């Protein structure tokens, strides 16, 4: 079975209604795996797989479980390779929150990403809290999880500013990846500006 076929089957499994309410759907799972691929501290497989599903899914049999879990691992490895390459990172959804942000795939992706961050929050912020916070901002804004905080509410109220931030997500991911995994190679946006 090709990787594309495996992903199609994974997507059908994750997007099915049978999973726990708090389980991540395919797009959110992609965001979650992206965060795990960027984080400088590696999270044990069993821990992140269990957290992704919130509770054990009802697999048809051991073979299905093996297929779903191995496809999740393959997708995570694929995402890590994409992040490490020089190409711009591609999200599995449009960079647009649309008319109904809460129903958009991008919001789901951003929420999934933040779930991945929350799994090892200390590791994200231990070395360069300010830079990491700055780079996470577009994703935090996209997730809508922080809209009750005044500064986020202000951004959410400004459609143009929202759009400007959302389109920065792929760039922010690359910068975060470099910062967390190759700290000696500071991404350009962090280099001190010479006046």
Give the other-Cβ count within 10 Å of 155's Cβ.
19
In the predicted model, what is the mean pLDDT of residues 96-122? Answer: 95
DSSP state of 188: G
Assess if residue 54 is contained within a domain. yes
State the pLDDT at residue 87: 86
Domain count, the chain: 1
In the predicted model, what is the mean pLDDT of residues 102-122? Answer: 96
Assess if residue 188 is contained within a domain. no
Q: What CATH number should be reported for the domain holding residue 43?
A: 1.20.120.740
pLDDT digits (tens, 9 = 90+) for 22-74: 999 999 999 999 999 999 999 999 999 999 999 999 999 999 999 999 999 99
Assess if residue 117 is contained within a domain. yes
Please say whether the dihedral angle defined by the alpha carbons of residues 139, 103, 36 and 26, taken in this order, is positive or negative: negative
Burial label for 175, CB within 10 Å (0-12, 13-18, 19+), is buried
Assess if residue 79 is contained within a domain. yes
Evaluate whether 48 touches 79 at the Cβ level (below 8 Å).
Answer: no
pLDDT tier, 184 (very low <50, low <70, confident <90, very high otherwise): low
Domain of residue 166 covers 3-181
Q: Can you give the pTM of this predicted structure?
A: 0.92
Lowest model confidence (mean pLDDT) among 40-54, 95-109, 170-184: 170-184
Assess if residue 195 is contained within a domain. no
Assess if residue 186 is contained within a domain. no
Assess if residue 104 is contained within a domain. yes
In the predicted model, what is the mean pLDDT of residues 127-156? Answer: 93
Does residue 182 have a pLDDT over 90? no
In the predicted model, what is the mean pLDDT of residues 82-109? Answer: 93
Does residue 195 have a pLDDT over 80? no
Q: Please tell me the distance from the alpha carbon of residue 91 to that of residue 128, in angstroms, as a whole number.
A: 25
Does residue 183 have a pLDDT over 90? no
Assess if residue 194 is contained within a domain. no
Evaluate whether 132 touches 38 at the Cβ level (below 8 Å).
Answer: no
Does residue 193 have a pLDDT over 60? no
State the pLDDT at residue 57: 95
pLDDT tier, 192 (very low <50, low <70, confident <90, very high otherwise): very low
Instruction: Tell me the two tokens of residue 83.
Output: 């992040």
């Amino acid at each position: 079975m090709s990787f594309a076929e495996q992903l199609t089957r994974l997507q059908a499994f994750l997007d099915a209604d049978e999973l726990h309410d708090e389980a991540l759907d395919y797009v959110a799972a992609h965001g979650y795996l992206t965060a795990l691929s960027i984080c400088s501290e590696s999270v044990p497989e069993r821990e992140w797989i269990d957290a992704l599903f919130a509770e054990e899914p009802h697999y048809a049999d051991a073979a299905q479980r093996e297929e779903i879990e191995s496809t999740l691992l393959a997708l995570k490895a694929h995402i890590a390779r994409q992040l490490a390459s020089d190409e711009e990172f591609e999200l599995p959804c449009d960079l647009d929150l649309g008319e109904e942000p809460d129903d958009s795939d991008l919001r789901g992706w951003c929420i999934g990403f933040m779930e991945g961050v929350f799994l090892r929050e200390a590791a994200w912020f231990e070395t360069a809290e300010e830079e990491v916070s700055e780079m996470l901002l577009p994703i935090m804004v996209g997730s809508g999880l922080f809209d009750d905080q005044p500064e986020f509410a202000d951004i959410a109220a400004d459609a143009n500013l929202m759009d400007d931030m959302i389109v920065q997500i792929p760039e922010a991911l690359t910068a975060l990846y470099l910062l967390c995994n190759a700290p000696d190679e500071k991404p350009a946006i962090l280099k001190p500006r010479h006046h």
